[in-house]
Structure 1
């Protein structure tokens, strides 16, 4: 049913934990779409299978490298430390886990998927009967959509808050860069160590490959834009503007009272005294689970213990009943 809302094109990218059923489903329903492995799950598999934390670091470094030279520097180190791990990564396919080899648009902004979000939101509500549970979900969606529709009114500027943070971080890194003009809108940007990068503001590209991959100006592009007195925000792709974010939530979620009445009228008018019963199910033995099953290599985070605070000595860790100052 996802195909009714998301087209089968090369611009669509699915990121998963490489489960075989996901591979099968994508190849069947979205044959033109691209598939990328989640780096977090990949690192967990490496840690579980090869018992080496440094390998996890190198895999993450190779996966997030923009330039081929950076990728092979990290991958050759992986091959030296553990050839079996290198063979495992080759078997996956570089184009499925390395940014420098991936032909599609992966971007660099990830959010928790909708299943994880609802799993946390419905922690208490999942114990409710079916109708109150549905009403809770509808009310939560209505609130979320309304808040995100108004994001363009609350925020200042042209781009979304997350992208604005990335641009600000790149702006701080651009302070020590030396910019020389090559041609109209083309610049030679040098770092303090002497490394040179070619920036073209017309095509919005940089030889570091970060600019054209993320479609967010890198530190080199920002330094060139400041020299040319061009607005940095104008170099950010239109996919990151606030209007695009707000347009994703243009639909309004209404109450379901009128809709339910309409369904009842249709049922009564079409089939007479039709009674719809719930499906026959058998409850499994034991208590129902309240927490999800952890994936491979995932560690359950412990809830921090509550700290006592004495209102008289103003120190944490003290209990007023036993504190000498309080007594």
Structure 2
């Protein structure tokens, strides 16, 4: 990625998914009171606040404190992230979203060549779709960035910027350095200078660089029958034993990843039914024997054959 474009791409930062970190943490320390401080430490954007939360964890369990420090805060806490990548994401939702697509799930049980071919076709369609969507952008920046800016504009009303010099103001927030999207404090200072907010958004969020990200093309390849022969022994199917039950195509979802339950109709268990026609207990009007008998006499079916069959 470093030599992909003329100006280069910042080196990627290796981060740990905070959700997976929490799962491993819970296997060792089963104290539920440590969950909220763990996530609070992961979300803090300043080292000073991070240390304050870590001292809170240390007061509860010193071994948990040492375990989190050994995991490397620069991998899982925003307070220690480098500001060069312009991303503050804590979890691997982007990877999970890719793995959870219908095309990937349908190809998981295929042989390796068929699997790769389906992924290649999926990526061709995805790149084309994203290129077209970027062309349709109405703004200079990404739509998500525009939404964040509008939200920060609303919060700016409670900020009073104090100018120290031409390029220094009292209002400042390190979150701006992490994402390169002006926070409400930065918006107040930029408006005080009567400048355009768009010019302060990082180039990595612009329409031009999104187009560069999806400009690469995956070219079609010839059919497998036309591939050159290597003369070597082909792949042999591994010796395996068919396991009982149908194999799973998707990973097991944890309880905290499930969507909130929706309202469902309660079962009529332990409820005594009353017949609305005759008032008897233990059944309803539809299953009432007297009702069925009377309805058959009063309103016989029009088809004599049907009536004969029902009578028999």
TM-score (norm 2): 0.68
Residue 8 of structure 2 is aligned to residue 11 of structure 1? no
Specify the SS of the correspondent of 1:63: helix
**Runs of 5+ in structure 1 lacking a partner?**
16-36, 189-196, 198-205, 309-321
The answer as to whether partners of 2:82 and 2:178 remain within 8 angstroms in 1 is: no
Distance in 1 (alpha carbons) for counterparts of 2:139 and 2:92: 22
The answer as to whether partners of 2:182 and 2:197 remain within 8 angstroms in 1 is: yes
What residue number does 2:208 align with?
243
Distance in 2 (alpha carbons) for counterparts of 1:217 and 1:150: 27
Q: Please, what is the CA RMSD of the aligned residues?
A: 3.8
Q: Cα deviation per residue 1:131-177 (whole Å; 9 max; x = unaligned)? A: 66555333321110101112321112122223333323322222211
Q: Cα deviation per residue 1:218-238 (whole Å; 9 max; x = unaligned)? A: 110011112222111211111
Distance in 2 (alpha carbons) for counterparts of 1:149 and 1:49: 45
What residue number does 2:199 align with?
234
**Runs of 5+ in structure 2 lacking a partner?**
266-283, 287-312
What residue number does 1:77 align with?
56
For 1:1-327, list aligned pairs within 5 A: 11-15=11-15, 37-103=16-82, 105=84, 107-109=87-89, 112-114=93-95, 117-121=98-102, 122-127=104-109, 133-188=115-170, 197=171, 206=172, 208-256=173-221, 258=222, 260=224, 263-264=226-227, 266-267=228-229, 277-286=234-243, 287=245, 289-294=247-252, 301=258
Pick closer, same or farther for the CA change 1:277–1:225 going to 2, 3 Å: same
Distance in 1 (alpha carbons) for counterparts of 2:119 and 2:75: 35
Query: How many pairs align?
Result: 261
Specify the SS of the correspondent of 1:178: coil
The more displaced of 91-100 and 213-222 is 91-100
Distance in 1 (alpha carbons) for counterparts of 2:169 and 2:137: 32
Q: Cα deviation per residue 1:275-313 (whole Å; 9 max; x = unaligned)? A: 974423223331563244559x775637968978xxxxx
What's the CA shift for 1:124? 2.9
Which has the greater radius of gyration? 2
Distance in 2 (alpha carbons) for counterparts of 1:128 and 1:120: 15
Distance in 1 (alpha carbons) for counterparts of 2:144 and 2:198: 13
Distance in 2 (alpha carbons) for counterparts of 1:302 and 1:253: 35
Specify the SS of the correspondent of 1:182: strand
Distance in 2 (alpha carbons) for counterparts of 1:235 and 1:87: 39
Specify the SS of the correspondent of 1:100: helix
The answer as to whether partners of 1:225 and 1:231 remain within 8 angstroms in 2 is: yes
Distance in 2 (alpha carbons) for counterparts of 1:39 and 1:76: 19
